[in-house]
Amino acid sequence: MKVFNNLSNRIYPVRESINNNLSNGMKEELKNIKEKILAEIKKINLPEEFYDLEKKYLGRKGEFTKLTKSIKDLTQEQKPIIGKLANEIKIELEEVFSNLKGNIEEGFDDLKNRINFDATIQSKKKEVGHLHPNTIIQNEVVDIFSSMGFMVLDGPELESEYYNFETLNVLSTHPARDMQDTYFIKTDKNFKKSEKLVLRTHTSAMQVRAIEEFGAPLRAIFPGKCFRNEATDASHDNTFYQLEGLMIDKNISISNLVAVMSTLLAEIFKKDVKTRLRPGYFPFVEPGFELDINCLICGGKGCSVCGDGWVELIPCGLVHPQVIKNGGLDPQEYSGFAFGMGLTRLVMMRYGINDIRLLQSGDLRFTKQF
């Protein structure tokens, strides 16, 4: 018995040292495999290689997974210690893989630059977009008119010649057709002349559509995109935004027009802006005016945007009786005013933008400033 006891006493420490060696070896192996994985991530060139690597080590039959399975062979004392270490390394690796996966989804090109072995690395923040300056100002103007009881209508950008020109007293033989260099759309020869299509040159194309649809009394604005075949410069683009306004009721006069325009300018600029009203010719208003504002870019000295210190901003006038008639109302009973504000130019004035072409350039260095 004594001998046996001795043997047993001797055996125990031997087993313990085997187990100690085993657990120390495991510790080393776990640390080595972690270093190996992180080193291999560094060499990745393609997204597929990243996914292969993840499978090779962390997959069900992966090397790291296999290693952790052998923890069960350790003693009861060693199991929790090594198990804890293995778990910590696993969490760390999973976090590194998960963050890099985020980077991969955003663009692999940048992956290598952003590989970082800090397990707390965050994937690149998603950039949140924001409103274009045109939309910001359009929303402000829409709010101002909504508060005055105007409804907001949308209209087609591909418009018939009928609504774009003819309902507005601009017949095909009328010299005013030359005022707006138009993109005509090729249509089938079976198209009736009145159905021929153009990219709308102005939001006035909505005037008769709105009267037809809603009758009177009517207070509506129509913001939207317009197109003209322009030789572009600092203040003219081939695609730009206007915001049209139309009010039809009994006894509408120039005083109503001036009151609405003054409210608009005071609200939009929130400071005193010099304005001037001069006669303007448009076949669909009588009388017609041009409301100009003193250029806010050069302070009225004259620049590439305004030329002479004044910016043509809001052409307007009293609706021509024929237009009211074209909409199906009696011009003896109803009158109205209309205006067609150059929304893009308003944006330029508000933000001090000295070239209209920047607004549609798609250049993020420009749009990110707003």
Stretch that binds ligand FA5, among 59-67, 104-112, 135-143, 313-321 (CB under 6 A): 313-321
Which one among 206, 313, 329, 347 touches ligand FA5, defined by CB under 6 A? 313
For residue 273 the two structure tokens come to 């802006």
Of residues 37-96, which lie at the interface with ligand FA5 (CB under 6 A)?
A: none
Question: Please, what is the minimum distance in Å from the beta carbon of residue 93 to ligand FA5?
Answer: 57
| Contact in structure between 316 and 288 (CB atoms under 8 Å) | yes
The runs of H, that is alpha helices, within the chain are: 2-42, 47-58, 63-69, 78-106, 111-114, 133-147, 161-164, 206-214, 254-269, 321-326, 343-351, 364-367
Stretch that binds ligand FA5, among 59-67, 108-116, 127-135, 337-345 (CB under 6 A): 337-345
Which one among 342, 347, 349, 353 touches ligand FA5, defined by CB under 6 A? 342
CA–CA separation, 239 and 188 (whole Å): 25
Of residues 264-293, which lie at the interface with ligand FA5 (CB under 6 A)?
A: 282, 285, 288
| Contact in structure between 348 and 297 (CB atoms under 8 Å) | yes
Is residue 315 a contact residue for ligand FA5 (CB under 6 A)? yes
Which CB, 54 or 290, lies closer to ligand FA5? Answer: 290
CA–CA separation, 242 and 204 (whole Å): 9
Is residue 296 a contact residue for ligand FA5 (CB under 6 A)? no
Q: Nearest to residue 70, comparing CAs of 38, 31, 30? A: 30
CA–CA separation, 137 and 140 (whole Å): 5
For residue 151 the two structure tokens come to 């409804």
CA–CA separation, 173 and 356 (whole Å): 32
Which one among 345, 347, 349, 359 touches ligand FA5, defined by CB under 6 A? 345
Question: Please, what is the minimum distance in Å from the beta carbon of residue 365 to ligand FA5?
Answer: 22
CA distances from 236 to 239, 288, 348 (A): 9, 22, 12
Which one among 234, 293, 344, 353 touches ligand FA5, defined by CB under 6 A? 344
Contacts of 287 (CB under 8 A, 6+ apart): 254, 279, 317, 318
Of residues 179-208, which lie at the interface with ligand FA5 (CB under 6 A)?
A: 202, 204
Which one among 152, 312, 331, 351 touches ligand FA5, defined by CB under 6 A? 312
CA–CA separation, 325 and 331 (whole Å): 6
Which one among 44, 316, 349, 359 touches ligand FA5, defined by CB under 6 A? 316
Is residue 260 a contact residue for ligand FA5 (CB under 6 A)? no
CA–CA separation, 217 and 149 (whole Å): 11
Q: By rule CB under 6 A, what string of x and - marks binding of each residue 209-238 to ligand FA5?
A: -------------------x-x-----xx-
Question: Please, what is the minimum distance in Å from the beta carbon of residue 51 to ligand FA5?
Answer: 51
Nearest to ligand FA5 by Cβ — which residue?
A: 342
Phi, psi for residue 218 in degrees, rounded to 5: -140, 130
Question: Please, what is the minimum distance in Å from the beta carbon of residue 325 to ligand FA5?
Answer: 17
Count residues binding ligand FA5 (CB under 6 A). 24
Q: Nearest to residue 317, comparing CAs of 342, 335, 344? A: 335
Which CB, 111 or 313, lies closer to ligand FA5? Answer: 313
Which one among 57, 165, 222, 240 touches ligand FA5, defined by CB under 6 A? 240
Which one among 71, 247, 248, 356 touches ligand FA5, defined by CB under 6 A? 356
Footprint of ligand FA5 on this chain (CB under 6 A)? 202, 204, 228, 230, 236-237, 240, 242, 244, 282, 285, 288, 312-313, 315-317, 338-340, 342, 344-345, 356
